[in-house]
Amino acid sequence: MQTTLSDKVAMITGASSGIGLALTRQLLQEGSHVIALIRSGFPKDDALIQEAIHNQQLRIYQADLSDFAKLRAALDQIKRTEERIDILFNNAGGSFADLQFSKQGRELHYELQTVVPYIITMELKELLKRGMLKRIVHTSTSAFNTMKSFDPEALDRPGQFKKLFGPYAASKLGLSLWTQELAASFFEQEGITMVTVDPGGNNTMRKGKKSGIPFYLKPIIRLFFPHPSKGASLLYQAAIGDNKPGAFLVNNVRKNLKFAQQASRVLDKVRTIYMHEYL
């Protein structure tokens, strides 16, 4: 079993803040190379980050991932420039404060956190096949355990919005469901293992940024939730662990997914978007 990522090439989406930044710093400190696919820049006052950028241990590709034209340009650049990817962390996302839609016309949580990870997975699988680990870790959540119902047809344009436990939770459930549905055949055909991980509660709140966190949870998060390095460590452990393809992991333990009977429909939806819109 892999015990460290110190000599590996890791790609991280959403690497410049929150859990993604904590994971990036952990990997750089170990000596890993990091490919960062991000929308906003890294902190200018972070000496570790700036040194890694300078010596190309940290290589940056920027794009709004929810805009397919910009995503395509960034992924094409990665495919032209990078030689391999050992582990892919599909981590980009967040909980938004209101109902928003992508440039393609779909609800933004769904586009960014369900559809885009599928596109990135498909587009970068050849680089992953050249890697040593051949693993993908998608950042999910357990927030969807509060959901009483789930309709894949409502993912594109939900009829109502609820912070954290609405489209955000549904999009993460969709991510975990299509991963579970695809993972076994993907491993057999491509040799790549992918799992989804709940990084747990982390204090990722940032000053001056509108948040999709309900107001009653904000003081609890500020006072009691751990630093994002806690969530980063769970993603890291999933990357080095010997996990069954498609597993949904909570505290490194495999858990069953709700609404598993809808997994094939979610996979059909994201696959259709990829085939008929992105390509």
pLDDT at 38: 98
Can you give the residue range of the structural domain that contains 39? 9-278
| In-domain check, residue 251 | yes
pLDDT at 216 > cutoff 90: no
Q: In a 10 Å sphere around its CB, with 0-12 CB exposed, 13-18 middle and 19+ buried, how is residue 72 labelled?
A: middle
pLDDT tier at 222, thresholds 50, 70, 90: confident
Per DSSP (E only), the strands in 65-214 are: 87-90, 135-139, 193-198
pLDDT tens-digit readout, 109-143: 999 999 999 999 999 999 999 999 999 999 999 99
pLDDT at 206: 61
**Number of structural domains in the chain:** 1
| In-domain check, residue 242 | yes
pLDDT tens-digit readout, 143-196: 999 999 999 999 999 999 999 899 999 999 999 999 999 999 999 999 999 999
| In-domain check, residue 118 | yes
pLDDT tier at 226, thresholds 50, 70, 90: low
User: What average pLDDT does range 249-256 have in this prediction?
Assistant: 97
| In-domain check, residue 3 | no
Per DSSP (E only), the strands in 21-109 are: 33-38, 58-62, 87-90
| In-domain check, residue 1 | no
| Residue 237 to residues 37, 53, 231, Cα–Cα distance (Å) | 21, 25, 10
pLDDT at 205 > cutoff 60: no
Q: What percentage of residues in the chain have a pLDDT greater than 70? A: 92
Rounded to the nearest integer, the mean pLDDT of the chain is 94
pLDDT tens-digit readout, 78-91: 999 999 999 999 99
pLDDT tier at 104, thresholds 50, 70, 90: very high
pLDDT at 204: 66
Question: Residue 229 sits in a domain of what CATH number?
Answer: 3.40.50.720
Please name which of 144, 157, 80, 151 lies closest in space to residue 111, comparing C-alpha atoms: 157
Please name which of 206, 237, 218 lies closest in space to residue 87, comparing C-alpha atoms: 237
pLDDT at 1: 63
What is the sign of the dihedral through the CA atoms of 198, 201, 204 and 210? positive
pLDDT tier at 21, thresholds 50, 70, 90: very high
pLDDT at 209 > cutoff 80: no
pLDDT at 275: 98
pLDDT at 203 > cutoff 80: no
pLDDT tens-digit readout, 27-80: 999 999 999 999 999 999 999 999 999 999 999 999 999 999 999 999 999 999
| In-domain check, residue 2 | no
| In-domain check, residue 101 | yes
| In-domain check, residue 103 | yes
pLDDT at 29: 97
The identity of residue 117, as a single letter, is P
pLDDT at 30: 96
pLDDT tier at 217, thresholds 50, 70, 90: low
Please name which of 270, 199, 275, 181 lies closest in space to residue 237, comparing C-alpha atoms: 199
pLDDT at 227: 80
